[in-house]
Chain A
Amino acid sequence: MKSRDHALALVSSRLGWLAIASAIVLAVGGTMAPDRIWSNLLIVGVYAVTLALGGALFIALTYVANASWNVAFRRVPEAMAVVLAPAGVGLLAVLAARCQQYAWHPQNGEADAGTFWFKELWTNPTFWMIRAVAYIAIWLLLSRMLVAASRRQDHSQGLGFTLFNRRLSAIFLLVYAPTFALASCDWLMLLDPMWFSTIFGVYNFAGMVEATLAIMIILSIILRRRGPLRGIFTDDHLHDLGKLLLGFSCFWMYIWFSQYMLIWYTNMPEETAYYLLRTGGPWGPLMIANVALNWIIPFFTLLPRPWKRNESIMLKIAVIVLLGRWLDLYIMVFPATVGTTPMVGIWEAAGGGLAVGLFGWLFFRAFTKVPAVPSGDPLLAESLHYHC
């Protein structure tokens, strides 16, 4: 037991050092290339917040579906959801620190967000910041309540907590859908203030769920290899997560195609401007890489049954999907804030390092604070004996 704990502590501390080293590099970069550093930090913030929120979303979806297969490893998405607090504060700090990075901000002289009264109201910097705080506060409150009820159930074994969480999950989903759609509009779509697309919230939802499943696969495999979930997180659980990842990878592609194809087909200048910026020159190969990482590779590799039950293959696919999610956010953010040439260098690597290090370190810290298995859940036995 001791050696397993030690192994986990080692992973955790390495992640912590990675985060510190990346933060130092980014701090240095802040003086040399502030636009790029800010853009990287926005990606890190959105990435971490959506992964943490994804954990809460996964818990809520499985509760409302009355599912049991996930109970054995539910502490993984729960610990992810706990990371929402620091990730949310970090994102708010990034947004507050340099909100003039958004082209519509009054500090940029003449605001170019359009002259319609609603748009002016919507891009009022104070209102915009209040909304960001409100979204994160609401998500934090609901996700904390979900996690707290699950933890309290360890001691009392009451069915009441399951029923409570089922109701709370329905409320979570109802609140999550509109707030997340608006948040993705506020934080990402407003980077191109004149552009608009009604599917944008759904697109970000698809990317978020895909990345959430990928990180859950990675974290569960690490926890199985290092001890806490050995014999608990089975190949059957891995197989089902793989099937869901396959499904949501296709869903992401479906939404990506719906947005791209409809804009390409109608060819209206106010809409095509977004893609012209992102398909021209060196961005073209990156667009294709985005599709490859988020759909083509996961689709073909997740089709065979044995591969979905193979730990090392699943780890690689999950890493590819997480890289794809980063690239997806990069394509949304960088053309608007940094310029027409894609730049990937030490600052971007440091951004990635910060995301991995900080999220991982916070996750393991949250995970090890409570028992690794929700032992009071009445559906735990079903989950431990689960065969797909």
Chain B
Amino acid sequence: MANTMTQRVPTSSSVPNPDALATLRPPLIAGDKQPADVTHDICAPFERGPTALWWVAFAVSFTTLVIGAIAVTYQIATGIGTWGLNRTVGWAFDITNFVFWVGIGHAGTLISAVLFLFRQKWRTSVNRSAEAMTLFAVMCAGLFPIIHMGRPWLAFWMMPYPNTRGPLWVNFKSPLLWDVFAISTYLLISAVFWYVGLVPDLATIRDRSPAGWRRRLASIFSLGWNGSARTWHRYETVYMLLAGLATPLVFSVHTIVSMDFATAVIPGWHTTIFPPYFVAGAIFSGLAMVLTLMLIARKVMQLEDYITLRHVEAMCKLMLSMGCIVGLAYGTEFFVAAYSGNPYEQFVFLNRAGGPFRWAYWTMVTCNVIIPQLLWLRGVRRNIALVFAISIVVNIGMWFERFVIIVTSLHRDFLPSSWADYSPTIIEVATLLGSFGLFFSCFLLFCRFIPVIAMAEVKGVLKSPHHAHEHESVKGDAA
């Protein structure tokens, strides 16, 4: 034993090979940018005014939003009977959309908080827009339960506060109430986190803008930022604390959404794997939406140097791993249904794969498990058009996942005489479209008025001119 131990001191062979380091640690930002270039490039789109393309996109999104608003007004005026629900399928399109949008809202906090704690520097190019997307997606999600109440003006009854309504009080035993707390906390923390991250960039806008409304607003919201070391120090402490607080929220929100189903005794809904399975699915769908939007933004706003193939690849790898986890969860549910010997469980899963909604089930499996496997190939991950197509496919697949879980578990219940079919009405489809209109309108406004990339953070990951010297010193020390 003693003989072998003598060789154990690192020798000169630990000098890093510069070529190897260049392969393993390629620069994050392309185009040899200086800090001033970053400010100029990121501020340019909103300083020069909207392009024709922006106006077209905004017109389309806003029109869709108006269609949705009309549909919502109609269904509230007429009643929830305008939906395609029946006595057996009492939950369908509305809650599918709710879960879909909550899921989309997950990648933002994952990228901004979890990847921050894991020191993944590539997040700096996408965190700002991913967080904005989170806020808009959670807003869209919140709409659906409120519409479902039928009398949305009484939505404040969900809040437990001393009131004069006698025995009317919220039910703390219901996961639907937990949703209220989980989602409102998530929205609040995400908004604060997003805003805190924005402060240094707002100060940059303040300093660049000529006197006028933009400068005045940026001045108010940058909270007197002066860029001193003390300011930065405090900023970084707050950012780190908020990241730590936001991380459990990535798990809690979709865990509680999953409990809306898993606390029921309905086969197909009640299964213990739901909490982590829903969280993985939410991150999966959120990453797909981030990719969809960022690939467009990258092209339209000429951000190719900031959102490089390396960023796209990293997101693809994360998406692939989440897709595999979701696939494993699908497999586990099937396996345990067979293993348990429970005929009701088995019926639900066989009915999913072979019953009247099999088209939805197989769409889900194809989109979420089979097609994303293409991302194992480096060539696919670096092909923007293909990645864009896969991200759209995953978005579709994840919508269908929620539809399959919700509708197929309900439509053939324990009593065959009450078996029913379900198809959405035009009102329900218009409401979904309207939520997309709201989401894209908000996102387009965000692109117009706020830097889509966190300038201050990107400047921190630029390859500095001193970089070469750093390597020299590392070499020397190691030797």
A273 touches B (CB below 8 Å): no
Q: Which residues of B452-479 have CB atoms within 8 Å of chain A's CB atoms?
A: 474-475, 477-478
A297 touches B (CB below 8 Å): no
Contact B13 A196 (CB under 8 A): no
Closest A residue to B474 by beta carbon equals A381
Which one, A178, A266, A369, A382, contacts B270 given CB within 8 A? A266
A341 touches B (CB below 8 Å): no
Closest A residue to B345 by beta carbon equals A196
Contact B341 A202 (CB under 8 A): no
A250 touches B (CB below 8 Å): yes
A284 touches B (CB below 8 Å): no
Contact B6 A1 (CB under 8 A): yes
Contact A375 B17 (CB under 8 A): no
Contact A178 B331 (CB under 8 A): yes
Residues of A contacting B296 in the complex (Cβ-Cβ under 8 angstroms) = none
A90 touches B (CB below 8 Å): no
Residues of B contacting A31 in the complex (Cβ-Cβ under 8 angstroms) = none
Which one, B4, B17, B21, B321, contacts A368 given CB within 8 A? B4
Report Cα–Cα, A166/B329, bound state, in Å.
25
Given contacts A159-B20, A262-B270, A369-B4, contact A185 B11 (CB under 8 A): no
Contact B4 A119 (CB under 8 A): no
Which one, A177, A181, A259, A380, contacts B14 given CB within 8 A? A380
Report Cα–Cα, A55/B474, bound state, in Å.
29
Q: Which residues of A73-128 have CB atoms within 8 Å of chain B's CB atoms?
A: 114-116, 118-119, 122
Report Cα–Cα, A297/B13, bound state, in Å.
43
Contact A177 B324 (CB under 8 A): yes
Residues of B contacting A159 in the complex (Cβ-Cβ under 8 angstroms) = 17, 19-20, 23-24
Residues of B contacting A115 in the complex (Cβ-Cβ under 8 angstroms) = 341
Contact B10 A254 (CB under 8 A): no
Residues of B contacting A369 in the complex (Cβ-Cβ under 8 angstroms) = 4
- A17: shortest Cβ distance to chain B, in Å? 16
Contact B274 A262 (CB under 8 A): yes
Report Cα–Cα, A341/B13, bound state, in Å.
59
Contact B341 A254 (CB under 8 A): no
Report Cα–Cα, A157/B12, bound state, in Å.
11
Contact A371 B339 (CB under 8 A): no
Q: Which residues of A370-388 have CB atoms within 8 Å of chain B's CB atoms?
A: 370-373, 375-382, 384-385
Contact B5 A255 (CB under 8 A): no
Residues of B contacting A379 in the complex (Cβ-Cβ under 8 angstroms) = 16, 21, 24
Residues of B contacting A2 in the complex (Cβ-Cβ under 8 angstroms) = 2
Assign chain B's interface to a size class.
Answer: 35 or more
B159 touches A (CB below 8 Å): no
Contact B324 A174 (CB under 8 A): yes
B408 touches A (CB below 8 Å): no
- A237: shortest Cβ distance to chain B, in Å? 14
- 9-residue interface stretch from B75-83, B182-190, B258-266, B419-427: B258-266
Q: Which residues of B316-331 have CB atoms within 8 Å of chain A's CB atoms?
A: 317, 321, 324-325, 328-329, 331
Residues of A contacting B7 in the complex (Cβ-Cβ under 8 angstroms) = 371
Contact B263 A199 (CB under 8 A): no
Report Cα–Cα, A122/B355, bound state, in Å.
26
B340 touches A (CB below 8 Å): yes
Given contacts A1-B6, A369-B4, contact A375 B13 (CB under 8 A): yes
B234 touches A (CB below 8 Å): no
B248 touches A (CB below 8 Å): yes
- B250: shortest Cβ distance to chain A, in Å? 11
B15 touches A (CB below 8 Å): yes
Report Cα–Cα, A122/B329, bound state, in Å.
19
Interface string of B73-98 (1 = CB under 8 A from A): 00000000000000000000000000
Report Cα–Cα, A384/B262, bound state, in Å.
47
Contact A162 B24 (CB under 8 A): yes
Given contacts A178-B328, A262-B262, A262-B270, contact A255 B276 (CB under 8 A): yes
Closest A residue to B17 by beta carbon equals A378
Given contacts A159-B23, A199-B276, A373-B8, contact A262 B263 (CB under 8 A): yes
Report Cα–Cα, A381/B478, bound state, in Å.
6
- A139: shortest Cβ distance to chain B, in Å? 17
Closest B residue to A178 by beta carbon equals B328
Which one, A255, A370, A375, contacts B10 given CB within 8 A? A375
Q: Which residues of A267-307 have CB atoms within 8 Å of chain B's CB atoms?
A: 268, 270
- A61: shortest Cβ distance to chain B, in Å? 10
Interface centre among A119, A196, A382, A384 (most CB of B within 10 A): A196
Report Cα–Cα, A198/B13, bound state, in Å.
49
Q: Which residues of B285-327 have CB atoms within 8 Å of chain A's CB atoms?
A: 317, 321, 324-325
B41 touches A (CB below 8 Å): no
Q: Which residues of A23-77 have CB atoms within 8 Å of chain B's CB atoms?
A: 64-66
Contact B248 A380 (CB under 8 A): no
Residues of B contacting A373 in the complex (Cβ-Cβ under 8 angstroms) = 8-10, 14
B171 touches A (CB below 8 Å): no
A149 touches B (CB below 8 Å): no
Which one, A173, A265, A385, contacts B263 given CB within 8 A? A265
Given contacts A197-B272, A250-B248, A381-B478, contact A5 B2 (CB under 8 A): yes
A228 touches B (CB below 8 Å): yes
Residues of B contacting A380 in the complex (Cβ-Cβ under 8 angstroms) = 10, 14, 16, 478
- A231: shortest Cβ distance to chain B, in Å? 9
A9 touches B (CB below 8 Å): yes
Which one, B16, B329, B336, contacts A378 given CB within 8 A? B16
A18 touches B (CB below 8 Å): no
Given contacts A1-B5, A119-B341, A381-B14, contact A202 B273 (CB under 8 A): yes
Residues of B contacting A378 in the complex (Cβ-Cβ under 8 angstroms) = 16-17, 20-21, 24
Report Cα–Cα, A8/B346, bound state, in Å.
56
B1 touches A (CB below 8 Å): yes
Contact B272 A258 (CB under 8 A): yes
Contact B341 A114 (CB under 8 A): yes
Residues of A contacting B248 in the complex (Cβ-Cβ under 8 angstroms) = 250
Interface string of B349-370 (1 = CB under 8 A from A): 0000000000000000000000
Contact A5 B5 (CB under 8 A): yes
Residues of B contacting A197 in the complex (Cβ-Cβ under 8 angstroms) = 272, 336
Closest A residue to B321 by beta carbon equals A173
Contact A262 B272 (CB under 8 A): yes
Given contacts A380-B10, A381-B475, contact A270 B342 (CB under 8 A): yes
A352 touches B (CB below 8 Å): no
Closest B residue to A267 by beta carbon equals B265
Interface centre among B14, B259, B335, B342 (most CB of A within 10 A): B14
B255 touches A (CB below 8 Å): yes
Report Cα–Cα, A93/B336, bound state, in Å.
27
Q: Which residues of B28-82 have CB atoms within 8 Å of chain A's CB atoms?
A: none
Contact B477 A385 (CB under 8 A): yes
Given contacts A198-B271, A254-B251, contact A185 B339 (CB under 8 A): yes
- A295: shortest Cβ distance to chain B, in Å? 13
Interface string of A352-372 (1 = CB under 8 A from B): 000000000000000011111
Further pairs besides A4-B5, A9-B2, A263-B272: 9, Cβ < 8 Å = A12-B1, A116-B338, A170-B376, A201-B332, A232-B10, A268-B265, A372-B5, A375-B11, A379-B16
A positions within 8 Å CB-CB of B: 1-2, 4-6, 8-9, 12, 64-66, 114-116, 118-119, 122, 154, 157, 159, 162-163, 170, 173-174, 177-178, 181-182, 185, 196-202, 227-228, 232, 243, 250, 254-255, 258-259, 261-263, 265-266, 268, 270, 368-373, 375-382, 384-385
A-B contact pairs, 27 of them (CB 8 A): A2-B2, A8-B5, A9-B2, A65-B118, A114-B340, A114-B341, A115-B341, A118-B341, A159-B19, A159-B23, A159-B24, A181-B332, A198-B273, A200-B272, A202-B276, A258-B276, A259-B272, A262-B271, A270-B342, A369-B4, A370-B4, A373-B9, A377-B14, A378-B16, A380-B10, A380-B16, A381-B474
